[in-house]
Structure 1
Amino acid sequence: MSQYLLPMLYTVFVWWFSTGVILYLNGLPRWTFGWTLGGATVLLALALIGLHVTRNDMRVSGAYVSFTCALLVWGWQEIAFLLGFVTGPRRTPCPPGARRWRRAGYALQTLLHHEFALIVLGVAVVATTWNGSNPTGLFTFAILWVMRQSAKLNVFLGVRNLNEGFLPVHLKYLQTYFTRKPMNSLFPVSVAVSTWLAVLVWQAALADGVRSFDATALTFAGTLLSLAILEHWFLVLPLPSEALWSWGRSSRALTPGEGAGPDRL
């Protein structure tokens, strides 16, 4: 049972704690942003090395290291985006008259550099794990990327909870590209497909005779996917999800007007 419970608890803790840490760092004075990105870049380099070293490690410890390294790679782009270093060429509010494809084009321009960074990081993860027998890190990054793209599209098309209060001051213009409405037609498809995939992953993890490594790696994937689905539901249900990270927002009190929050895009 521990081969399931421990990875589940580890994933939930890292999901909750890392979001709070990013919240806290992004709420500090702007002069700290360069130091924060520098530290994140060092961790990024170490994470890519870790993914390469563990690419053939089929021990349970190898699954933990690979999973953690993939999260650190993902964390770099979160920090780079929220601090305003890697966003897009457009940094102004959406023009009032922009509709449909024109509005979509403007929205893409606000995230273009960020999207390129995700592609580069994805290629780096693939390269460092190429021909390896330990797919944990690659699957972790893939789940994060696909589910984040889904969340971005749903926020653009319209959901109840935009969480625009979480955006840092220097990214407030992004909220003009969001749409607030109870739900959009993509949302049920996103949730249905991701739930179906989560069921398949959990079935594989719980199958008879599964190896300890496979059970651990699949539990990481299943838990992470389940949390991403939960975050999708946070977009439409009247739940105070931001209260989960109220401790991370405490740094905003130290820097009036400079507060920030996790990117729920």
Structure 2
Amino acid sequence: MFTSPWAVALSAIFIWWFSTGILLWRVRHADNRGPDAHMASVVLGLPLLFGGIFGFSNTLADISVSGVYLAFLSALAIWAWIELAFLSGVITGPNAGPCPRFSSEGERFLRAIGAIAWHESLLIVVLSGMALHAHGAANPFGLWTFLVLFIARISAKLNLFFGVPYINTEFLPSAISHIATYFRKSRMNGLFPLSVTFLTFATGCWVERALASADVGRAVGFWLLAALTALALLEHWFMVLRLQDQKLWRWMMPAPRDAAEPRPALSDEGRNGL
């Protein structure tokens, strides 16, 4: 049932939508209760991290359909905990302040890196550990899932730094609200066409590999990667097209405690970031 391309794609889309919604809901809920609730979320979420590590390790030799799905879910679980720690303001970077309005391009870049340095370092360490652990494994789809998420995130952050027309900060928690001052609104940047071209090409490569795979488990894995990469591509297009993607999760979000409190302003000139 869950081996046809459509079933695999719909499964990936549902997992992406549901897991994103749960993560945003938990962060908003903790935001309404205060800083201690954010730390509690990260600590209580540790089973998610450990479960992801356990699942990733124990599926490396299992190329069955269930093994591939579990590897995919395990990589998402590891990623989700790291994102929870970031959105909660627990693992971010040494720079916890907003970007000065008239900073030079180089200074803004360094400050933006400083705002997320520990988080990015953790992602690199985890990705490197997964790569070493999965070297030569029969089921590399957990590693490749994490790699797709990592590349798509780096691309998205760089595009936010250089400038895109539409930036959604509705779900940005107060713990990292200063991050919004590093975003830039502009008509377009030179990196965006390269980003969408690369993600489109990567999606096509995964589809080609899925169609060429004689093994059902490997085919399912490539279809999952194709769907995930296509979703990353769609999220990039949300930056330049006026689409209300936040409506996908807004209905499930609790009302913010300080709904009247304004978010940091985004400047077309000097406020940008990663």
Q: Under a length normalisation based on structure 1, what TM-score does the superposition of the two structures give?
A: 0.92
Q: Confirm or deny: 8 A CA contact 1:23 1:248 kept in the other structure.
A: no
Question: Matched residues in 1 for 2:187 and 2:56: separation?
Answer: 41
Question: Matched residues in 2 for 1:120 and 1:247: separation?
Answer: 36
Q: Confirm or deny: 8 A CA contact 2:39 2:90 kept in the other structure.
A: no
What count of residue pairs does the alignment treat as equivalent?
257
Q: Confirm or deny: 8 A CA contact 1:8 1:223 kept in the other structure.
A: yes
Paired residue for 2:190?
185
Question: Matched residues in 2 for 1:5 and 1:232: separation?
Answer: 23
Which stretches in structure 1 are left out of the alignment for 5+ residues?
A: 260-264
* CA deviation after TM superposition for structure 1 residue 39, in Å: 2.6
Paired residue for 1:62?
67
Paired residue for 1:13?
14
Paired residue for 2:243?
239
Stretches (4+) displaced over 3 A: 255-259
Q: Confirm or deny: 8 A CA contact 2:165 2:186 kept in the other structure.
A: yes
Question: Matched residues in 2 for 1:114 and 1:132: separation?
Answer: 27
Between 1:145-154 and 1:100-109, the stretch displaced more is 100-109
Pick the aligned partner of 1:96 from 76, 93, 101. 101
Pick the aligned partner of 1:45 from 38, 41, 50. 50
Between 1:30-39 and 1:218-227, the stretch displaced more is 30-39
1:252 aligned counterpart, secondary structure? coil
Question: Matched residues in 1 for 2:27 and 2:44: separation?
Answer: 13
Say whether residues 1:159 and 2:164 are aligned partners.
yes
CA deviations on 1:207-258 (whole Å, 9 max, x unpaired) are 3x62101110000100000000000000110111111111332x234x3359
2:137 aligned counterpart, secondary structure? coil
* CA deviation after TM superposition for structure 1 residue 132, in Å: 1.4
Question: Matched residues in 2 for 1:6 and 1:258: separation?
Answer: 42
Paired residue for 2:219?
215
Q: Confirm or deny: 8 A CA contact 1:49 1:128 kept in the other structure.
A: no
Question: Matched residues in 1 for 2:139 and 2:82: separation?
Answer: 23
Question: Matched residues in 2 for 1:223 and 1:190: separation?
Answer: 17
Say whether residues 1:252 and 2:255 are aligned partners.
yes
Q: Under a length normalisation based on structure 2, what TM-score does the superposition of the two structures give?
A: 0.89
Which stretches in structure 2 are left out of the alignment for 5+ residues?
A: 262-273
Paired residue for 1:146?
151
Q: Confirm or deny: 8 A CA contact 1:169 1:257 kept in the other structure.
A: no
Q: Which amino acid aligns with 1:126?
A: A
Question: Matched residues in 1 for 2:233 and 2:78: separation?
Answer: 21
Q: Which amino acid aligns with 1:212?
A: V
Question: Matched residues in 1 for 2:260 and 2:83: separation?
Answer: 17
* CA deviation after TM superposition for structure 1 residue 166, in Å: 2.2
Q: Confirm or deny: 8 A CA contact 2:209 2:222 kept in the other structure.
A: yes
Question: Matched residues in 1 for 2:48 and 2:255: separation?
Answer: 25
Question: Matched residues in 2 for 1:225 and 1:258: separation?
Answer: 36
Q: Which amino acid aligns with 1:247?
A: W
Question: Matched residues in 2 for 1:140 and 1:169: separation?
Answer: 29
Paired residue for 2:178?
173
Q: Which has the higher contact order (CA 8 A, sep 6+)?
A: 1
Pick the aligned partner of 1:229 from 219, 223, 233. 233
CA-atom RMSD, angstroms?
1.8
Question: Matched residues in 2 for 1:127 and 1:186: separation?
Answer: 30
User: 1 or 2, which has the higher helix percentage?
Assistant: 1
